[in-house]
Chain A
Amino acid sequence: AQTVTQSQPEMSVQEAETVTLSCTYDTSENNYYLFWYKQPPSRQMILVIRQEAYKQQNATENRFSVNFQKAAKSFSLKISDSQLGDTAMYFCAFMKSNTGKLIFGQGTTLQVKP
């Protein structure tokens, strides 16, 4: 069975600074996908960024980028130039190839301070 672990329950960062959220996962699969989702207090889960395991190049979406280390089974999220609107809970998630089923970590609450 696959598991996803986020070891940082809470993080804080000053506005405009950079923060990195950690995620590790355990799987015996070779083909899979990894995701970071953001859940603001409104509860609506929003996709931030995704990564195919077969791609060596790290995914980037504007201020968000990942550091994907397949051998170490690590998938961290870096947020650059943090904004107040980035305050939310962030979830790392795993999907086995073509299953549609997301397996989430426990989440990291990020507070961006002015």
Chain B
Amino acid sequence: GAGVSQTPSNKVTEKGKYVELRCDPISGHTALYWYRQSLGQGPEFLIYFQGTGAADDSGLPNDRFFAVRPEGSVSTLKIQRTERGDSAVYLCASSLGGSYSNEQFFGPGTRLTVL
């Protein structure tokens, strides 16, 4: 079956612009996660959805970052007034549920470059 997909695969934008990154989870997965991976580093947790609601958004760095999952499936990560420091690969993952026993399946990521 289809895995987690993310669009676009690459996004180049200018400082100060607004961007949206999309994640399509595996069908039937109720939990969805966003992580950010800077060059040469491990992924850093941003936010976790269980269904439509954010169960944990403690990793969002500031109020320029926002994520939604209105119908409990597709999620969009929104970044306002982008800064050069936002440049990274944004990874999305999904799982059947939010517990340990449910493996997180990762997408290929969106590489965001802010000029």
Q: A residues bordering B, Cβ < 8 Å?
A: 4, 33, 42-47, 50, 52, 91, 93, 95, 97-107
**Judging by beta carbons under 8 Å apart, are B43 and A101 in contact?**
no
Which of B18-26, B75-83, B99-107 interfaces with chain A? Answer: B99-107
Given contacts A44-B107, A47-B104, A98-B98, contact A104 B33 (CB under 8 A): no
**CA gap between A93 and B44 in the complex, in Å:** 11
**Would you give the shortest CB distance from B49 to chain A, in whole angstroms?**
10
- Residue B89 lies at the interface, judged by CB distance under 8 Å to chain A: yes
Nearest 10 interchain pairs by C-beta: A104-B42, A45-B106, A100-B98, A33-B100, A43-B109, A101-B45, A104-B43, A91-B42, A100-B48, A44-B108
**CA gap between A95 and B33 in the complex, in Å:** 13
Q: B residues bordering A, Cβ < 8 Å?
A: 31, 33, 35, 40-45, 48, 50, 55-56, 58-59, 89, 91, 93, 95, 98-100, 103-104, 106-109
**Would you give the shortest CB distance from B46 to chain A, in whole angstroms?**
10
Q: Among B40, B58, B100, which residue has the most Cβ atoms of chain A within 10 A? A: B100
Known interface pairs A43-B89, A106-B40; 10 further A-B residue pairs with C-beta atoms within 8 A, sorted by A's residue number: A43-B91, A45-B93, A47-B104, A50-B103, A91-B42, A93-B42, A100-B99, A102-B33, A102-B45, A107-B42
**Judging by beta carbons under 8 Å apart, are A100 and B43 in contact?**
no
Given contacts A33-B100, A42-B108, A45-B106, contact A100 B42 (CB under 8 A): no
**Judging by beta carbons under 8 Å apart, are B56 and A99 in contact?**
yes
**CA gap between A33 and B102 in the complex, in Å:** 12
Residue of B31, B43, B100 touching A95 (CB-CB under 8 A): B100
Residue of A4, A43, A102 touching B104 (CB-CB under 8 A): A102
* Nearest residue, chain A, Cβ from B55: A100
**Would you give the shortest CB distance from B89 to chain A, in whole angstroms?**
7
Given contacts A43-B89, A91-B42, A107-B41, contact A100 B107 (CB under 8 A): no
Which of chain A's residues have a CB closer than 8 A to the CB of B108? 42-44
